[in-house]
Structure 1
């Protein structure tokens, strides 16, 4: 080990540490709590997925189903203008994909993605454009509480309590 010129060399015991330190885990996880957390996350993803599919099935929001750059029949000049104008594009198919990949971890993150769709529509089409109004309606529909939330898989207590 090199040391600065003129400085005393470090003691030999500090020169080289060959022993591996086995530190206890910083976070002790209760397996039962981990299982409950996993079930809760699974139930939340199922609810968000169901909500996203509901938005995808609504014909009013068909303009937001897929990335603008992949829409067939749209002029390439519009696609190019969209790519230049919108920094972070978002669409419902991408949101659904993020849910399936477990990248959307809470309702607020889901809502951020849906609101991004609305912001992009407003930015690209202007406040008077029909797409901006539809996107605002989509964000409003997504923020409504679910009528029948799906309980986490295997949650017998929730099924007995009626939800």
Structure 2
């Protein structure tokens, strides 16, 4: 497997482009290989859970993280397109409170590595989207926290054409100044 790693404005958040073999029959790609992932990124993690979400146009999920048992996430879109965002919540980081956004789609087959210590969310920019992601720890609802998606302190430039569709927990997210953070 060949994997191209593209750095982002947040050095720990990485865009991954797998090698895709395609012809008139369709395509083949190896979506994950632990050895290649580690060699290409320098990141050694064990993934323990795979998640699959389907969302409609304008659905915004996030910005989520776990304050205990933090999860690193490796995300990809298998159908549709999303604008995916990671926010650095590590107080000791020079990038604390900064964010990066990346378009992930069925067409570009890009993946995004979001390490532990970051909040994560996405908005669907196509009619619908299926997002698959691997996590480095299990989901513990009692430790899940939500950073307010539209906090003015973050000034995330979400590609929205109207108000997003939000879950109740995402409507009630905490602002950066009040949210629990990492050391």
TM-score, normalised with respect to structure 2: 0.21
Which structure shows the bigger proportion of residues in helix conformation?
1
Point out the structure with max Rg over C-alpha.
1
